[in-house]
Amino acid sequence: MSLINNVIDRITDYLKVKGEKLKLDIIASVSRIMAYVISFILILLIGFFFLVFASITAGALINEALDSSYLGYLMISGFYLIVLIVVLLLLKTRKIQNLIEKALVHLNDVEL
């Protein structure tokens, strides 16, 4: 009977250790994903501010070159309108979604 209790205790300890390992693996995976998300958001935010200030600068330079107070900003806005239309058309054909899905699958493959 003592042998059976000893085996049961070892199996119970083994299962506890495996459960703790699984929990730690999940925590590590979630932490890694959160780090990627936070990094991506930070890069996106910095890129957004860079784009805004670069656009204002380009508009001001075009204004000065054209001796106008608004044409440069209008041209930059028109450029962004064209980009928006292209992105909307790509979204309608699901090309952007497919590209993002492939990138995420590739990122997942690299992690393993």
* DSSP states of 65-103: HHT-SSHHHHHHHHHHHHHHHHHHHHHHTTHHHHHHHHH
* pLDDT (tens digit per residue) in 34-52: 988 899 899 999 999 999 9
* pLDDT (tens digit per residue) in 72-109: 999 999 999 999 999 899 888 888 888 888 887 776 66
pTM score, whole prediction = 0.64
Question: Which residues, 6+ apart, have CB-to-CB distance to 76 below 8 Å?
Answer: 55, 58, 59, 62
